[in-house]
Amino acid sequence: MGARQGSSERLPDNYQLIYDVIREAGAGVHLTTNDLYLRASSRRPGIGISTVYRGVQRLRDLGLIDEILLPGADSAVYEPTASPHAHFRCTKCGSLSDVAYELPQRTITELSKRTGAHISEATVTLHGLCQGCCAA
C-alpha cells in the first residue's frame, strides 16, 4: 500500500506521520488524539499535541481517515477510512469495536420522506456487554 495518497500535494511530514500511525494500527483499531500523540511522540519526540489535532483535522478533511464521534464518549477516535459501519461499545470494559451494519438505504429514504428532511448520514451505536465481559 502506497505510503502517500496519489494526490499531487504532499502531506507535511508530521501529518504523514500521524497518518502512518493510524494506518499501521490497522482497521478496527480506534485511537484517540492522545493515543496518537503518544505514538507519534515516540517516533518524533517534541511533536506538539496541537500538531496532532491539526493533523487529524486535515486527514479527515482529505477523507484519509474517519473521525468517529460516539454518544457520550469523552473524546473522538480515529481509524483508517472504511465503509460505513456501526460501532459497539461495552458498557463494562469500555472496549469499542466495529460492527458490520449499516442502516438500510430504504429505511433512510423512508425516514427522509416522513420527516421532510434531507438525511445524508446515519450513525448507529450499540451498547451492552461484550463477549468477554459476558463470560466474566
Partner DNA sequence: GCGAAAGTGAATACCGCATTCACTCAACCT
Partner DNA sequence: AGGTTGAGTGAATGCGGTATTCACTTTCGC
Enumerate binding residues for DNA (CB under 7 A): 1-2, 4, 10, 12-15, 32-34, 44, 46-51, 53-55, 57, 74-76
Question: Does residue 60 contact residue 66 with C-beta atoms inside 8 Å?
Answer: yes
When CB distances are held under 5 to 8 angstroms depending on the partner's kind, the choice from DNA, its own copies, none that residue 83 binds is none
Question: What grid cell was written down for 1?
Answer: 500500500
Say which DSSP state 77 is in.
Answer: E
Q: Which is nearer to its own copies, 42 or 57 (CB)?
A: 57
- Degrees to nearest 5, angle at CA 118 with 115 and 124: 80
User: Closest approach of Cβ 15 to its own copies, in Å?
Assistant: 22
User: Closest approach of Cβ 84 to its own copies, in Å?
Assistant: 12
Q: Which amino acid is at 113?
A: K
